[in-house]
Amino acid sequence: MSAPEIDRPVAARMSTLDRFLPVWIIAAMVVGLSGGRLVPGIGPALDAVAVEGVSLPIALGLLIMMYPVLAKVRYDRLDRVTGDRTLLVSSLVLNWVLGPALMFALAWLMLPDLPEYRTGLIIVGLARCIAMVIIWNDLACGDRDAAAVLVAVNSVFQVIAFAALGWFYLHLLPGWLGLPQTDLDVSPWDIAVSVLVFLGIPLVAGFLSRLLGERAKGREWYESRFLPRVGPFALYGLLFTIVVLFALQGDAITSRPFDVARIALPLLVYFAVMWFGSFALGRSVGMGYERSTTLAFTAAGNNFELAIAVAIATFGVTSGQALAGVVGPLIEVPVLVALVYVSLALRRRWWPAAVGKGS
């Protein structure tokens, strides 16, 4: 990479699709919210198309979104990630110790008088991201291979730990502190289905694409010809997912704007603290830009589909807990898009030699 290329503004080196990503995402949110609010029956119609509690339209969008990114992963290099104990331990602590604890604290501090929303936010904090974080990391030029490993690790822990952590943060810990308690009835099988659909299918498809593509045509053809053709579908899938998600919940969001604002405040604090804290941690232990970015996005993101599904199954579709789950992506999507640009700006400031190396 030549010096003039490094000195070019980040936006100038991005494709038109990437450069105007905030515009497309805002438009998708508006279309979805408007459709859910103005078109009678669109939300229930979309929500009715589900298998084992998994919304098929959302699943389709996530599969389209995640496949191109996972097809880019060089699976023959993953041993270099799994051998990085600092990265793995940092991710596990951030995701399964600090993240849930922070959301618990923020929910009680900022929503002491709103128990349903408070419970919904705690559930959001327990649902660690295994889907959309893949595309945020890729847009920010993070370590694609490391993201694949961390997401896979999170998926395993999600199946094992989600129900236990729900019991701890909603029942046991509040009891110790003399606070009101809540029970969470969630099946590990339902969580496993979510993981298998949203991560397993695109992961297997991406692995097979690289394996068979490289065997048939070679790595040069695969990375210079095949990947550029399928790459844009990641953003197409993202936009489709956003439209469907907000169409499903458009009426609930737009009919209670003040409640949405109350729920949004702790979420904003949560995303900011988790992302900047994780990014600073990665930089302080010498991870470099790519892995610091991956650590930050995998720690800050949440599995909104799982959180919404658990809240609806346990408390009902019209419950405050379900609304809190729905507001999660309403805040997370624009905030993490903004953090993509913050990440790229920090790369230019602190790691100028890394500028231009990501895709």
More confident residue, 71 or 330: 71
- pLDDT of 55 > 90? The answer is no
How many helices (H) and strands (E) are present in the chain, helices listed first? 21, 2
Say how far apart CA 3 and CA 1 lie, in whole Å: 7
Q: What is the pLDDT of residues 80-133, one digit of tens each?
A: 788 889 999 999 999 999 999 999 999 999 999 899 999 999 999 998 887 778
Q: Parse the chain into domains and list their residue ranges.
A: 27-348
* Distance (Å) of CA 305 to CA 183, 285, 322: 20, 33, 11
Give yes or no for a contact between 125 and 277, defined as CB atoms under 8 angstroms apart: no
Three-state SS for 256? Answer: coil
- pLDDT of 359 > 60? The answer is no
| Triad 171, 172, 175: Cα angle to 5° | 85
Q: What is the pLDDT of residues 296-322, one digit of tens each?
A: 999 998 887 778 778 877 787 668 888
Please name the fold of domain 27-348: Na+/H+ antiporter like fold (1.20.1530)
Three-state SS for 50? Answer: strand
Give yes or no for a contact between 276 and 102, defined as CB atoms under 8 angstroms apart: no
Say how far apart CA 338 and CA 344 lie, in whole Å: 10
Q: What is the pLDDT of residues 253-301, one digit of tens each?
A: 777 788 889 999 999 999 999 999 999 999 999 899 999 999 999 999 8
